[in-house]
Amino acid sequence: MSDTAKRRVAILISGRGSNMTALIEAAKAQDFPAEIVLVVSNKADAGGLEIAAQHGIATVVIESRPFGKDREAFERALQDKLTASGIDLVCLAGFLRLLTPWFVRQWEGRMLNIHPALLPAYRGLHTHERALADGVKIHGATVHFVVPEMDAGPIVMQGAVAVRADDTAETLAARVLAVEHQIYPDALRLVASGGIRIENGVCRTRATGSADDRLISPAVI
Ligand code: GAR
């Protein structure tokens, strides 16, 4: 694929930006169908901003705080920046701000999010703590299209890990995060290359299931 055909992607962050970094690294591959052209943070002290700049990617801070409860005013500023940058696709990567239906509609079918759980289980916060409290044996992460409802929307890709008997929220989070760093770039590749279509709120793809499509936990020895 020639560079000019690549989809132009903006990543929205609020924090350390490890998923952002995974996307930036993956997009360096010549055959990757998207290029990361902009990183936007709603927090000036987000660690990810410096990492993005080190990779030579344009960064911009649009602080949400001064807009207070006027979420749409913040989003109009954001939308202006995205439009001016010719963005095709938006990736939310630890972007800790609820988006209004107005903004979500602007990016319908063109905005992805990563969530640290196997949706539709564990929407919201503290997913790892809640999974451990419930004693689930398999946990994971989901890349999905963003819809007005929080942590919902057509699922593009999921990755799972076995929960270990001695897991803490931290150890589990670390293994899930490693999965996130794998599935977010893969999902973006799939979406940017046109390999997904949404039918009745469900993603359809020609991509096959995982080569090893059985995960049983715990293993009985
Ligand atoms: C990631 O684990 C992401 O899944 C989560 O925030 C973290 C951001 O880390 N997102 C959510 O919980 C959204 N509901 P990062 O800044 O290192 O990518």
CA distance 181 to 163: 18
Asked if residue 159 has its Cβ within 6 Å of ligand 1, the reply is no
Last residue of a domain, one of 75, 107, 139: 107
Residues 97, 6 within the same domain: yes
Q: Which atom of ligand 1 is nearest to the CA of 13?
A: 16
SS3 category, 216:
coil
Give the model confidence (pLDDT) of 45-85 as tens digits.
999 999 999 999 999 999 988 998 899 999 999 999 999 99
Tally: H helices and E strands in the chain? 6, 9
Which candidate, 19, 36, 39, 16, places its Cα nearest to that of 27?
36
- With the most atoms of ligand 1 within 8 angstroms of its CB, the residue from 13, 18, 119 to mutate is 18
Output the pLDDT for position 4. Answer: 59
Asked if residue 167 has its Cβ within 6 Å of ligand 1, the reply is no
Give the model confidence (pLDDT) of 124-157 as tens digits.
999 999 999 999 999 999 999 999 999 999 999 9
Strand arrangement, sheet containing 7-13? 58-61, 34-41, 7-13, 89-92, 111-115, 138-145, 155-162
Give the model confidence (pLDDT) of 41-54 as tens digits.
999 999 999 999 99
Last residue of a domain, one of 107, 127, 151: 107
Last residue of a domain, one of 107, 136, 161: 107
Strand 7-13 with 89-92, pairing:
parallel
Share of the chain above pLDDT 70, in %: 97
Residues 120, 210 within the same domain: yes
Range of the domain at 217: 113-221
Measure CA of the first residue to CA of the last residue in the chain; give whole Å: 48
Residues 159, 92 within the same domain: no
Residues 125, 95 within the same domain: no
Structure tokens belonging to residue 221: 């020895």
Q: Check residue 190 and give left, alpha or beta (phi > 0: left; psi -120 to 50: alpha).
A: alpha
Asked if residue 115 has its Cβ within 6 Å of ligand 1, the reply is yes
Residues 119, 186 within the same domain: yes
CA distance 129 to 121: 13
Catalytic status, residue 55: no
209 or 30, higher pLDDT: 30
SS3 category, 205:
strand
Residues 147, 58 within the same domain: no
Distance in Å, CA 9 to ligand 1 centroid: 18
Residues 74, 102 within the same domain: yes
> Residue 146: which CATH number?
3.40.50.170
Residues 139, 58 within the same domain: no
Residues 92, 147 within the same domain: no
Residues 92, 132 within the same domain: no
Burial 158-174, CB ≥16 within 10 A → b, else e: bbbbebeeebeeeebbe
How many domains does the chain fold into?
Answer: 2
CA distances from 60 to 12, 20, 38, 89, 96 (A): 10, 14, 8, 17, 16
Asked if residue 16 has its Cβ within 6 Å of ligand 1, the reply is yes
Residues 120, 213 within the same domain: yes
Residues 164, 72 within the same domain: no
